[in-house]
Amino acid sequence: MLGKLLLATVFTGIITGFFITFYELLIIFMTYLIFMGDPIKTIPTLPTWYLYFVPTLAIFFVNYLASKDNHIREYGVNEIAESVSESRMILKVKTLFLKVIASALSLSSGFSVGTEGPSASIGAMIAYQIHKLFKLPQMLVKIMISVGASAGVAGIFVSPLTGIAFAFENIAYQFIKQYISYLILASVISFAITANYLGAITFSHQVGRIMNNEYIIANLFFIPFITAFIYFYLFLKKNVLHILDISILKNFHKYRNYIFALLGGGVVGTILLIDPQAAFSGKEIVIMLMNDENHISLFVIFSIIFLRIIGTTVAIYANAVGGVFLPLMSIGALIGYSFGEFMNFFMFPVEPFYFAAIGASVFMGVIMKLPLTAVILSLETTFDYNVVIASGISVVLIEYFSNYYFSIKKEYVNKADKVVK
């Protein structure tokens, strides 16, 4: 049986690697097709009605696909594993392709969702089909799904360690301890394939193990700074939009998805009109800020932060198919960069790109409740102890402070607890 499991793992890594490459390139192709070129450059030249029409039409079509196959909605890896093992969900090849289309359409039309959620689900679906093909025991369905999920995340981030950590924090520990080697194998194989075609998030300023105590001191001020933005994000998502959702479900249950689709299309259209950088997944912003490629004024940064927070939360309720990993990273990177600019304004010499890297890991780690993944992500993207140590301290303390006022659960998107039935 172990031989079959090993072979199934290798096949999962290979197929997932190529499928993730296709998925990412499809998003890029569709984005350029919809916006007639690089959206950051072409959107200012497009008519206003078009900027509202595209995301609204896209999200209505995504909701239509979801009405035909409820399994294309976004789920957490653990929810998928439990649903499959309890025979509440059957992962079909048709579902896999529909999910890719729905996710690519959500992302390419401007919705602020990420690629890691669908990538994890794509890997999980592939692993499930291989599990059936190899006729492995039912007891191994969860571990195969976790193997596929880790391969999917490792592939989309071109980052094997992040994929392993993601699976480790989302699947029961007893499975991980026994089968961690298979997670590693699938993640590394998938990474090796996508590394030839996709670009990773990199940090060009790393100094390795050299420690600068000024960044540790500055990080003490950064903790309350980023905590305030996390409170704002959670307040908007859990209070304002959640209360609105309950009200709509109570009074207009049949039209709930249509109402939020209209709201989502209107919000994304407005964001595209104001600043296209505040839309889409946010990967380009993370790379730009972490590598200090362009100087951005504080006014523009804060406007993008505000728009991205609104866009990300609304996308969740509008049923856009995609994760929140990258959008949260982009918000954190913007917050970190703005903090660095503030510190320089008050004559405290720190580089903003360091705090962009710290903020990207911390904001995602706290909101998604993935502290280990946050630390490993900061390590693998920067290889800089100034970032890794600050990220580790911040993600734990900020999560502790945030839990005083908000109950933070592991977050994916699209209210998996309601759609997995």
Residue 319, phi then psi, degrees to nearest 5: 70, 30
Within a domain: 241: yes
Among the residues of 368-420, which ranges form H helices? 371-382, 385-402, 416-419
92: phi > 0 → left, psi -120 to 50 → alpha, else beta; which?
Answer: beta
Q: Are residues 143 and 42 in the same domain?
A: yes
Task: List the CATH number of the domain containing 57.
Answer: 1.10.3080.10
CA 390 remoteness from chain centre: 21
Q: What is the pLDDT of residue 249?
A: 67
Together in a domain, 155 and 224? no
Percent of the chain whose pLDDT exceeds 90? 32
Contact status, residue 8 vs residue 187, Cβ threshold 8 Å: no
Pick the more confident residue, 147 or 22. 22
Q: What is the pLDDT of residues 160-174, one digit of tens each?
A: 888 778 767 765 554
What are the tens digits of pLDDT across the range 10-31? 999 999 999 999 999 999 999 9
- Give the three-class secondary structure for 323: strand
- Could you tell me which of 375, 310, 308, 312 has the C-alpha nearest to residue 335? 308
Based on the fold, state whether residues 69 and 109 are members of the same structural domain: yes
189 and 265 inside one domain: no
Q: What is the mean pLDDT of residues 216-228?
A: 90
User: What average pLDDT does the segment 178-204 reach?
Assistant: 84
201 inside domain: no
More confident residue, 75 or 117: 117
Give the span between the Cα atoms of 17 and 160, in whole angstroms.
11
Range of the structural domain that residue 185 is part of: 2-194
In a domain, 402, yes or no: yes
pLDDT in tens, 288-307: 888 876 777 888 888 999 99
- 203 belongs to a structural domain: no
- The CA distance from 356 to 24, in Å, is 24
Cα three-residue angle 27-29-31, rounded to 5 degrees: 65
Model confidence at 248, pLDDT cuts 50, 70, 90, reads: confident
**Bigger pLDDT: 138 or 192?**
192
- Domain co-membership, 188 together with 217: no
Claim to verify: residue 21 and residue 58 sit in the same structural domain: yes
Report, as an integer, the average pLDDT of 354-364.
93
Residue 420 tokens, joined: 């997995």
Number of domains in the chain: 2
Angstrom distance (rounded) from CA 126 to CA 138: 16
Residue 229 domain-assigned? Answer: yes
Place of tokens 């959107």: 43
pLDDT bucket at 85, cuts 50 / 70 / 90: low
How far is 308 from 311, CA to CA, in rounded Å? Answer: 5
| Residues 351, 261 within the same domain | yes
Helix (DSSP H) and strand (DSSP E) numbers for the chain: 19, 0
Average pLDDT for the chain: 83
Are 140 and 288 part of one and the same domain? no
Q: Cα–Cα distance between 13 and 4 in angstroms, integer?
A: 14
Residues 179 and 63 both lie in one domain: yes
Does 205 map to a domain?
no
pLDDT at 418: 42
Whether 206 is covered by a domain: the verdict is: no
On whether both 55 and 163 belong to a single domain, the answer is yes
Residue 356 lies in a domain: yes
CB atoms within 10 A of CB 286: 24
pLDDT digits (tens, 9 = 90+) for 31-74: 999 999 999 999 999 999 999 999 999 999 999 998 888 778 76
